[in-house]
Structures are given as C-alpha cells and as structure tokens.
C-alpha cells in the first residue's frame, strides 16, 4: 500500500512538471501577423492641361561682339607701351610702337640705290638711242642692237623693282605703330615695354564691351521661325536676359543669328543674342547669363499634359510616375512617355496620363506600392 502511494505521488509530480514546462516542450504556433502598410507623407499633383504660354530658360555665356587679338606685322623692340588692362582706347589710337631705326635705314638705302639706278637707266637709254641710229645706218650688227635694247629694258625693270621695294619698306615702317581697329577696352597685355615683338604674334587683346553677345544652345524643336532671306524679321525676337550672381536686373537681348550646324553631333544649335550694356552695369566676356521666358515653340498648348520633373522616376530604360488613389490612399506605378520641358519645373507627358488623375509630386524614389500616403497639400484634391 505504501509503494502504491509513493508511485501516485511520483506520477503527480511528473504531471505537474510537464504542465509547468508545456510551453517550452511543445511551443505554441503563433498566429501570422498582419503587415500594416507604411504611411508616408508626400505632396500630390493633379493632372491638368498647361494653361498660358509655356516658356523655358536657357543658360548661356557672354562673348564680345567685337574682339581682336592685335599683333605687329614686323618684328622689333617695343619702345612705347603705356597701356594697362582695363584701359579704354578709341578707334585709330596708337597703342604701341616698335623702334623704327632699322626700317628708316632700309628706306634710305633703297632710295640711294634708286637714285643710282635712275642714272644708270638714263645712261642705258642714251646708249640705246645711239645704237638704234647706228643700226638703221647698218653701221653695227643686229646682235649689238639687241644687247643695247636688253640693257635698257633691264634698267627699267630694276627701277620698277626698287620703287616697289621702297613702297614695301614704307609700309613696314608704318607697321611699327599698332593702332586700335575699333573703340573698346584693353582686356589682355602679353608684352612689356622694351621687350622684342615678333611679327604676327599677338601682343594684346581689346574688346568692345558696349554691346555683347549671349550664346545659348537651343534644341532643334525650339528654334524660332527665322529666315536666312529675311534678316529684318529676326529683330522681332527680343528676350529677357539676366546674369546670375549680379542681381535680378533684366536686360533685353535681340536675336543676332545662329549657326546652321548642330553642336557636337547633337540637335542643339548655337543662337546668339545681342545685348546692349547700360553705362552703370558692366558685362564681361565669359560671364554666365540666362535667357529667360523663351517661348516653347514646339509645345502645343491645347493638348499638353505636364508634370513636375521630381514626379518622374526610372526603372531601367522606362519612365514612371506614382498614381495616387484618394479613396484607398494607396499608390501604383504607371509607365509614361516623356516629351519636352515646358517650363523650368514641368515636363511634357506624351502618353500614360489623363487629365484629372492625381500623382505623387516629389520624393518618388523613396516610395513603393506597400506605402500609403498622407497628403501634405489636401487642397489639391
């Protein structure tokens, strides 16, 4: 009886232990958790037709309308050069001079040689006239007559050659003075006084800064309707030009022409605008410029759908936007076909969207279809 009681106690103890450790021995299967979509905060954009005039802004660079690298056509030491960079000069002004000593000596030598040759020419002509009379009287041979004629002709040719040499030497003497071809400003000096100037090697640069050119690269599709035959029509194209970093001042640029050859095998063309600089606003070559409010000639306003640049994202070679569902607050990706920029911030969509649809306006790279959206700008809806 005692053994039976002991066995019952042992069994009860084991049963109690198993009940206490049941979760460790036979772990319960947890219920599958429900994944709640992650909520994101974002701005939305409602698709609509582009209204008003579509414009674009083109970055550009300033170039001189008149620019000249000046050089001497002769060599020699510079004896006069009192110029400074930034100094204004006027058309015809003597800017530098080369020592004229050697060129004056050459002219004197040629003139002396010319005087001697004139005397020799006169003597040969006199001898020829005497020989001609003797030949008519058959007192000398034909060969003697020909020799006298040849000597007279050679003297004439030598005299003309010397006269041409003197003209050339006088031109070289004139080339020892370097004159300004137009009024402008000294923008570079490459030689100092008493240094030796080499012929045809630039020694300075001048630019006319009263009017400058602003060059921009324009896509083929946005070239204005211009004609090579009707030059006056180009003057009708006047645009606003600003200069970043120099305030918000706006100047007027007049169409000055364009290159008919695309740049770097692309469909962009160099277009230049002529800008007159006001007296209180200096514009220098190399400055950055922006041509603003340029009409987008390619865009048809009555059929254009445009979205913010920041709303478009890439997957491979294709472009997408996130479509927002106001009812479920969910989003889904949709492929779109891109067109041309219609403004600084908006891009034309050729296909994939309809007017009235709502898309995510920014931060699209951080979203996925598991997200729900809390709209930052509910007034759009």
List pLDDT tens digits, range 201-232: 999 999 999 999 999 988 877 776 555 555 55
Question: Quick one: pLDDT at residue 375?
Answer: 92
Q: What mean pLDDT is predicted for residues 66-92?
A: 94
Backbone angles phi, psi at 172, to 5 degrees: -65, -35
Question: Quick one: pLDDT at residue 353?
Answer: 92
Exposed, middle or buried: residue 239 (CB in 10 Å: 0-12, 13-18, 19+)? Answer: buried
Backbone angles phi, psi at 268, to 5 degrees: -120, 145
Question: Quick one: pLDDT at residue 33?
Answer: 47
Contact present, 124 and 155 (Cβ < 8 Å)? yes
* Of the listed ranges 22-36, 79-93, 232-246, the one predicted with least confidence: 22-36
Backbone angles phi, psi at 262, to 5 degrees: -65, 145
Angle between helices 101-136 and 142-174 (to 10 degrees): 160
Other Cβ atoms less than 10 A from the Cβ of 138: the count is: 8
Kindly report, residue by residue over 150-184, the tens digit of the pLDDT: 999 999 999 999 999 999 999 999 999 999 999 99
Question: Quick one: pLDDT at residue 306?
Answer: 85
Q: Where are the alpha helices (DSSP H) in the chain?
A: 2-20, 22-25, 101-136, 142-174
pLDDT(6) > 70 = no
CA distance 308 to 325: 18
Kindly report, residue by residue over 257-269, the tens digit of the pLDDT: 888 788 776 678 8
Report the chain's mean pLDDT, rounded to a whole number: 84
CA distance 107 to 165: 9
* pLDDT confidence band for 114 (50 / 70 / 90): very high
Residues ≥6 apart with Cβ < 8 Å to 62: 212, 213, 214, 243, 283, 284, 285, 286, 287, 288, 289
CA distance 102 to 87: 31
Sheet of strand 94-98: strand arrangement: 177-179, 94-98, 76-80, 196-197
CA distance 98 to 78: 4
Question: Quick one: pLDDT at residue 379?
Answer: 84
Q: Record the tokens describing residue 68, joined without a space.
A: 């000249």
Q: What is the pTM of this model?
A: 0.58
């Amino acid at each position: 009886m005692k053994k039976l009681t002991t066995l019952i106690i042992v069994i009860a103890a084991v049963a109690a232990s198993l009940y206490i450790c049941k979760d460790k021995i036979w772990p319960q299967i947890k219920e599958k958790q429900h994944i709640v979509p992650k909520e994101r905060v974002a701005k939305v954009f409602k698709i609509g037709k582009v209204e008003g005039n579509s414009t674009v802004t083109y970055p550009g660079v300033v170039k001189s309308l008149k620019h000249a690298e000046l050089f001497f056509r002769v060599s020699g030491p510079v004896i006069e050069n009192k110029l400074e960079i930034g100094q204004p000069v006027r058309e015809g002004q003597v800017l530098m001079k080369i020592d004229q000593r050697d060129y004056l000596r050459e002219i004197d030598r040629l003139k002396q040689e010319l005087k001697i040759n004139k005397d020799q020419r006169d003597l040969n002509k006199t001898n020829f006239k005497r020989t001609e009379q003797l030949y008519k009287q058959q007192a000398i041979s034909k060969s003697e007559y020909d020799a006298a004629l040849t000597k007279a002709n050679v003297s004439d040719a030598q005299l003309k050659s010397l006269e041409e040499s003197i003209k050339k030497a006088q031109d070289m003497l004139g080339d020892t003075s370097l004159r300004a071809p137009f009024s402008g400003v000294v923008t570079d000096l490459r030689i100092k006084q008493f240094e030796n100037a080499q012929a045809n090697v630039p020694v300075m640069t001048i630019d006319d800064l009263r009017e400058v050119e602003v060059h921009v690269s324009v896509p083929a599709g946005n070239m204005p309707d211009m004609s090579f035959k009707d030059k006056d029509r180009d003057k009708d194209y006047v645009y606003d030009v600003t200069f970043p970093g120099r305030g918000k001042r706006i100047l007027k640029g007049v169409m000055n022409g364009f290159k008919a050859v695309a740049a770097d095998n692309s469909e962009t063309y160099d277009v230049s605008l002529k800008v007159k600089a006001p007296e209180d606003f200096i514009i220098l070559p190399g400055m950055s410029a922006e041509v603003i409010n340029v009409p987008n000639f390619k865009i048809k306003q009555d059929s254009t759908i445009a979205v913010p640049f920041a709303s478009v994202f890439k997957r491979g070679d294709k472009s997408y936007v996130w479509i927002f569902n106001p009812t479920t607050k969910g989003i889904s990706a949709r492929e779109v076909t891109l067109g041309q920029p219609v403004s600084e911030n908006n891009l034309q969509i050729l296909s994939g969207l309809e007017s009235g649809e709502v898309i995510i306006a920014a931060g699209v790279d951080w979203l996925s279809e598991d997200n729900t959206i809390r709209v930052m700008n509910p007034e759009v809806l």
